[in-house]
Structure 1
Amino acid sequence: MTIFFVGAGLGTVADLTLRAIACLKEAEVILYDALIHPSLLDLAPAHCLRVPVGKRAGGAALPQAAINQLLCDYGHRYRRIVRLKSGDPGLFGRLQQEVEAVLSAGLAIEVVPGVTSALAAPLLAGLCVTAKDVSQSVAIVSGHAPETLPWSSLVQIETLILLMATRSLRYILEQLIAVGRSPHDGLAIVQWAGQPQQQEWFGTLEEYLNIADHPDMAPAVVVIGAVAQKRYPFARLDLALPALTSPMPDFPLSGQTVLVTRAAGQASPFSQQLRAAGATVLELPTLEIVPPSSWQPLDTALSQLPQFDWLILTSHNAVNFFMQRLQQQGNDSRALATLKIAVVGEKTAQTLQTYGLVADFIPSEFVADALVAEFPVPVAGLRLLFPRVESGGRPLLADAFTAAGATVSEVPAYESRCPQQADPTILAALQEGRVTTVTFTSSKTVKHFCQLVGAQAATLLASVQIASIGPQTSETCRQLLGRVDCEAQDHSVQGLLSALISRSLGLNLR
């Protein structure tokens, strides 16, 4: 039983080492970071369990202790577990904490190095970080906690390479200048290094600070020093941006401004994907995900788990609130040993996997209706536990199971409510006609959008493309907004992104 800590390099199969490819092809379980490209996971066998454990800045994070525990739990149940990390696992990858946990559990390890973006990104942008007579010293620095950095030491180093620094870059540059770094020093930002959507910006510290409103270019590598002002012809010059605020014309969503209406804290990954496709993204949270008004119904169900045959989970939120409440009661996934679990949607299944559980059934379509139609066993006589949103959920699922002879216990596990007010800057963008597309990921996001915007909702969207995640959301759009222009074929956030790109490129997809 071995845990393989594998570096994924820049994120494409072409950037993997031969040893990394061999590990993935033999993996039984892969725990992977947020920036891992799906093509890498496709190298694994079909039966391999794929567990997402990474995070992006601003997004929800799985605690490091939970990742350590998952590694140990899987390590005692499977023979070959791959912990797939972006870049090189030893560079800002929390390798030490995970290795120590695994070794303490008596498990064997192997570390497979990867190509780090800290060195590859500058090369792909035409920069030599130790160019002769220009730089004899290089420091690779994390921008995650810039207030702790040793500024007086860093200012003496000729070339600085910053990772995870785009959100704090203005602060970092101001601090460097304050301790003596020249404002005319070179600055290069390389976003999505090695990917088809690679973008670059070149200038000086001063020029960057003079830009009042610049887009978030994460994930990106930042290079500071004279080397950033000397490019060589091995750069991918066709991918360079003339200015930080200039759009990439070859990107499918370039020139579009997309308004994302999801739950607060859940929009960022989708927004990052839209930005990677070239869009300008605005976020208007239309949902606040909170605990139910009372825990009593769920607590009662949790105390009676052996009485149920199946657990039905239809959303990412249902999984998290159910499992967290189970843990708060002093239990863990072992309490579900006697139940089979059915889920709707790949995202729901992936969330379940983070708790060490694998769904017994996932319908072919990511909609609740398919769960009823494709249920793998006769439902007559079954006892089903259905934790769900407290208000506003569709009764179809419970009604259909009940009609087929099952006993369904619906219990509120969470509530999704409308925020008290909308961001006035977003309302202004709508009123000024700066939004080209609005996305809706549930019927509630449509209803709450109309509640936040008021009676002018349909009027404000008269010239805006309305994009829906699936048929039920589309129906609500038609009822409240009069139309829907684009619907995802695969009823997921990824499917919604694909639908927007297909429509933008003029492909014959609905």
Structure 2
Amino acid sequence: MSVSGKVYLVGAGPGRLAYLTVRGQQLLQQAEVLIHDALVGVELRSLIASTCQQFDVGKRGGKPSTPQAEINQLLVTQCQQGKQVVRLKSGDPFVFGRTPQEIQALKAANCAFEVVPGLSSALAAPLLAGIPLTDPVLSRSFTVLTGHDLDLLNWQLLAGLETLVILMGTRTLADISRRLIKQGKHPETPIALIRWASQPQQQIWQGTLLNIGQLTKAEKLSPCVMVIGEVVRLREFLQMEDVRSAVAQPPLAAQTVLVTRSSGQSSQFSDLLAAQGAKIIEMPALEIRPPTSWAPLDQAIAELASFNWLILTSANAVSYFFERIHDQGKDARSLAGVKIAVVGKKTAAVLRQQGLQPDFIPPDYVADALVAAFPEAVSGLKLLFPRVESGGREVLVKALTAQGAEVTEVPAYESGCPQQIEPAAIAALQQHQVTVITFASSKTVHHACQLLAQTLGDRWRHWLEGVCIASIGPQTSQACYEHFGRVDAEAQEYTLEGLTQAIEQWVQGSDR
């Protein structure tokens, strides 16, 4: 730990290591704490040391986000602990970000900070698509805006400008086109949409204000940069060799992966796969919700001081447990004197977001290993185990109880099957586009089969012929064998990173 803490607010650029500043790279390699946005990919995070704490505080439209006040406090808290903190923000810190608010919080707490520039996607994306933002004839200036709060913008003025660059506008694309045409912009004005600029999975759509909505109707567009203006036509003459061809073809470039994680938890895994070039289709087979009753958990929280250990075997358990603690006006200090055991890297990372370090993580990232490697004799100890309300495995509780521990199980959350399957997933299966389907828990296997059967009928297994069945670990694989009779790829390390690696190895082995 450093003698005095400091926060570095660093621009990550468009997300590729090749376009990160030298200063940014140095700071990432020295960071003790990394607090990053949703669009900051694994390539940049690979620079950090294994001992660096990571906090994902990304905001994505339409999905649960970390409140800005919590991010501000996290920066202050980590800095006051004497840490060297990197707040890694996509693009440039001062372009449509909340950096000024974070700086105000740091200054109010007398925390040292430094702002490091980054290459904004407003500049990088058009360049990488071969679109010049200025031209002596077609565009003597350009304007950058966001697609949020459209009613606050002067559309009559914007319609008269030569070149517009719009960030975060995919959800309002139709409205943007309509407003510009209404204010006099010619319907045939060229527009380009650049998704995942600089990344291996970069995509570009080109059309006009009139037809761009139809051209992209079935596409997932976010995260995307829009360029509107006559300069888009110059792309035909100026585009360089596809930026993706300048690097080795990513290992999953030809794969379409069906992800069955719950809708609120799929983004991290999807980002991991997308970073390796895969096309992602989400088919949530799990729905996370509160338990039937909070009473048992509330009672356990009231008696926290009487427990020796808190056992947390999933990120959901951490989130719901601490949400309930906060709802009761308490915080992490309530756990003073209570040791914490967690299963898995993800669970540990979510716990660290609460400002706490686990006292024990079993080496194999599975609940069974927790018993075998527990750091002390459990006989006579009181263990609190907040867990899923139904459907969880009983092996852990039975093994600890057999060794003399007093285990208090309390429901912290429930997981169930969604009511219906995503239409895009069904279409992809029926058109034989899917090459891999992934399962990160036994429940996702059971629920996915239930959803497929009720949607596709008795021949649902037919649609998975030739599709790689990828499992995160032995228990999930057991469920796969039960339903499919096979497992084609199983993670050696029972994490999302391990599952991604297993899929890559399957691709290499199958020579796809």
Question: Do they superpose with TM above 0.5?
Answer: yes
User: For 2:386, what is the secondary structure of its paired residue?
Assistant: strand
The correspondence of residues 225-244 of structure 1 with structure 2, limited to 5 A, is: 225-231=229-235, 235-239=239-243
8 Å contact from structure 2 (residues 200, 244) kept in 1: no
Give 1:313 shift. 1.1
* Distance in 1 (alpha carbons) for counterparts of 2:18 and 2:156: 40
The share of aligned pairs that are identical, in percent, is 50
Compare 479-488 and 425-434 and name the one that shifted more: 425-434
* Distance in 2 (alpha carbons) for counterparts of 1:207 and 1:505: 40
Compare 55-64 and 474-483 and name the one that shifted more: 55-64
Compare 251-260 and 494-503 and name the one that shifted more: 251-260
1:47 aligns with 2:51: yes
Change (3 A) 1:170 1:252: farther
For structure 1, the 5+ residue unaligned runs are 242-248
For structure 2, the 5+ residue unaligned runs are none
* Distance in 1 (alpha carbons) for counterparts of 2:213 and 2:177: 8
Change (3 A) 1:375 1:328: same
User: For 1:131, what is the secondary structure of its paired residue?
Assistant: coil
* Distance in 2 (alpha carbons) for counterparts of 1:252 and 1:288: 31
8 Å contact from structure 1 (residues 56, 269) kept in 2: no
**1:245 alignment partner in structure 2:** none
* Distance in 2 (alpha carbons) for counterparts of 1:508 and 1:430: 21
Q: Cα RMSD (Å) of the superposition?
A: 2.8
**2:166 alignment partner in structure 1:** 162
The correspondence of residues 407-418 of structure 1 with structure 2, limited to 5 A, is: 407-418=406-417
Give 1:57 shift. 3.2
1:504 aligns with 2:507: yes
**2:330 alignment partner in structure 1:** 331
Query: What one-letter code is carried by the residue in structure 2 that aligns with 1:332?
Result: D
* Distance in 1 (alpha carbons) for counterparts of 2:141 and 2:414: 54
8 Å contact from structure 2 (residues 14, 120) kept in 1: yes
**1:132 alignment partner in structure 2:** 136
* Among candidates 116, 120, 124, match of residue 124 of structure 2: 120
1:469 aligns with 2:472: yes
* Distance in 1 (alpha carbons) for counterparts of 2:467 and 2:47: 40
Give 1:263 shift. 1.6
Change (3 A) 1:102 1:65: same
* Distance in 1 (alpha carbons) for counterparts of 2:128 and 2:423: 41
**1:244 alignment partner in structure 2:** none
1:111 aligns with 2:115: yes
Give 1:201 shift. 3.1
For residues 105-141 of structure 1, give each alpha carbon's deviation from its aligned partner in whole angstroms, at most 9, with x where no partner exists.
2323221111111112222222221122221221111
8 Å contact from structure 1 (residues 260, 267) kept in 2: yes
Query: What one-letter code is carried by the residue in structure 2 that aligns with 1:158?
Result: E
TM-score, length basis structure 2: 0.89
* Distance in 1 (alpha carbons) for counterparts of 2:220 and 2:231: 23
8 Å contact from structure 1 (residues 125, 237) kept in 2: no
Query: What one-letter code is carried by the residue in structure 2 that aligns with 1:64?
Result: Q
Give 1:256 shift. 4.5
8 Å contact from structure 1 (residues 200, 240) kept in 2: no
**1:482 alignment partner in structure 2:** 485
Change (3 A) 1:251 1:37: closer
8 Å contact from structure 1 (residues 118, 221) kept in 2: yes
* Among candidates 180, 202, 209, match of residue 184 of structure 2: 180
Change (3 A) 1:378 1:508: farther
Change (3 A) 1:195 1:32: same
Compare 456-465 and 189-198 and name the one that shifted more: 456-465
Query: What one-letter code is carried by the residue in structure 1 that aligns with 2:6?
Result: T
Change (3 A) 1:23 1:277: closer
Change (3 A) 1:252 1:421: same
TM-score, length basis structure 1: 0.89
The correspondence of residues 393-404 of structure 1 with structure 2, limited to 5 A, is: 393-404=392-403
Compare 31-40 and 142-151 and name the one that shifted more: 142-151
Give 1:193 shift. 2.2
8 Å contact from structure 2 (residues 200, 277) kept in 1: no
For residues 390-433 of structure 1, give each alpha carbon's deviation from its aligned partner in whole angstroms, at most 9, with x where no partner exists.
00001112222223332222111000012234456655654565
The correspondence of residues 207-222 of structure 1 with structure 2, limited to 5 A, is: 207-211=211-215, 213-222=217-226
1:448 aligns with 2:460: no
For residues 326-353 of structure 1, give each alpha carbon's deviation from its aligned partner in whole angstroms, at most 9, with x where no partner exists.
0001101111222222222222122122
Give 1:497 shift. 2.9
Change (3 A) 1:421 1:228: closer
Compare 75-84 and 420-429 and name the one that shifted more: 420-429
Query: What one-letter code is carried by the residue in structure 2 that aligns with 1:497?
Result: T
User: For 2:408, what is the secondary structure of its paired residue?
Assistant: strand
8 Å contact from structure 1 (residues 58, 268) kept in 2: no
* Distance in 1 (alpha carbons) for counterparts of 2:498 and 2:209: 39
**2:198 alignment partner in structure 1:** 194
**1:7 alignment partner in structure 2:** 11
8 Å contact from structure 1 (residues 200, 239) kept in 2: no
For residues 263-318 of structure 1, give each alpha carbon's deviation from its aligned partner in whole angstroms, at most 9, with x where no partner exists.
23323443455455555544332222111111111111111111122211111111
1:495 aligns with 2:498: yes
Give 1:323 shift. 0.5
User: For 2:438, what is the secondary structure of its paired residue?
Assistant: strand
* Distance in 2 (alpha carbons) for counterparts of 1:57 and 1:44: 27
The correspondence of residues 301-450 of structure 1 with structure 2, limited to 5 A, is: 301-423=300-422, 426-427=425-426, 430=429, 433=432, 435-450=434-449
